Amino acid sequence: MTHLRSVCVFCGARAGLQPAYARDARSLGRLIAVEGWRLVYGAGDVGLMGEVARAALAEGGLTMGVIPTHLLIREQGRRDLAQLVVTEDMHERKKVMFMNSDAIVVLPGGAGSLDEFFEVLTWRQIGLHEKPIFLLNTDGYWQPLIALMDNVIEHGFAETALRDYFVAVPDVETLATRLRAALS
């Protein structure tokens, strides 16, 4: 029996202004389900989180949601997931999501998504894991972040290897190819 592969998705609790963000979130949700991977995400039914989850569930995908008690109402925590883990706080949420995943995908999002991205990136930087981290750069949304990372390296605050710890992909098709390679 092959080991179940899980993809952790960090993304906005809002949908953002461009329809492309929700479109890509839905494509990713469908991809995860169709490939037989498990979606691990923030359990909410709002913004891009809701889009990914609804698309995965509509394709009969396996889902695991992780949400702290105090956000159950605000982020409309879904009760119809295969697994729902309610954590005490945000730290535990990130840890549980990470521990239960084989790859991490960061979709467009706000400060929360950035926090989640930097947590897994810095864990990678200090050698705590080797899980692949993908930034879905829908419509160039993450370009300023990529430029910032290059600036950090250019000014001597990180090894050039920092740039290798995450992969920015322009679309879901490219992401699919990279994920299949990483999870095979």
Judged by the rule CB under 6 A, the positions of this chain that interact with ligand AMP are: 12-14, 42, 44, 71, 75, 90, 93-94, 109-113, 115-116
- Based on CB atoms, which residue is closest to ligand AMP, 45 or 59? 45
Least CB distance from residue 116 to ligand AMP, whole Å? Answer: 6
- Based on CB atoms, which residue is closest to ligand AMP, 118 or 184? 118
- Based on CB atoms, which residue is closest to ligand AMP, 48 or 172? 48
- Paired with 38 in beta bridges are 6, 62
Sole residue written with tokens 């990678």: 124
Closest residue to bound ligand AMP by CB: 112
CA–CA distance, 53 with 46 (Å, rounded to integer): 10
CA–CA distance, 81 with 29 (Å, rounded to integer): 13
Confirm if 13 and 44 have CB atoms less than 8 A apart.
Answer: yes
- Based on CB atoms, which residue is closest to ligand AMP, 86 or 153? 86
User: How many CB atoms neighbour CB 110 within 10 A?
Assistant: 13
Least CB distance from residue 108 to ligand AMP, whole Å? Answer: 8
Least CB distance from residue 181 to ligand AMP, whole Å? Answer: 27
| Residue 79 in tokens | 């009760």
